[in-house]
Amino acid sequence: MSSDKRVSHEFPPVFDAGSKVLILGTIPSPRSRERGFYYMHPQNRFWRMLCAVLNEDIPADIEGRKQLCLKHGIALWDVLESCEINGASDSSIKNAVPNELQRIFDAADIKAVFTTGKKAHQLYQRYFGNDPHTEICLPSTSPANRTVTEAEMLLRYRKIAEFLG
C-alpha cells in the first residue's frame, strides 16, 4: 500500500529585484512544512553550507534567514508547486506540478539557477529545460544524502559566490 500524499507548497518564494541567483529544491520536506520555511530539518546542511559560503552566522529565525538571502542577492524557492510524495523521499515524487518561476525571472536579473540535488535538477530540466539561465546542480543537503563529504559539498556550494559579485 502506497503512503504517497498530495503536498502543495505552503510558503512563498524569497526574492526581490536585487536577486542574482535562484536556489531551487524540489518541494519542502514535512519538517520544513511544519516549521514554515525552507531547509528546516535540524540535520539538513543547507543553511550551514550557504552561511559558510557567505561568511555569515546562521540566523536563528525565519525572518533572519529571509533577510540573509535578500542581503546577498539570493532567491530561494522550489521547482514544484505540488506533487504526490512519500514523506520526504524525492525519489517517490509523481504527478508533479511546477512552480511559476517566470515571476522571479521577470522581477530580478537572475544570473544562475542552482538546484539542490539530482531530483530538483531532473525536474528543473523537465519543466524548464529551455530556460536560458546558467544552471548548476549542487549536492543535496538532505540528511539522507551522505555520499558527499561536507568539505566537498562546501567546495561545490562556493560556486554560488561567483554569481553574486
In the structure grid, which three cell numbers stand for residue 6, read together? 498530495
pLDDT digits 0-9 by tens, 105-120: 999 999 999 999 999 9
Q: Which residue, among 25, 71, 28, has the nearest Cα to 51 in the 3D structure?
A: 71
* Domains of the chain and CATH, by start: 5-163 (3.40.470.10)
Q: What is the model's pLDDT at position 146?
A: 78
pLDDT digits 0-9 by tens, 118-132: 999 999 999 998 877
Consecutive H or E run containing 8: strand 5-8
Q: 49, 43 in Cβ contact below 8 A?
A: no
pLDDT digits 0-9 by tens, 146-162: 788 989 999 999 999 99
* Cα Dmax for the chain: 50
pLDDT above 90 covers a percentage of the chain that reads 75
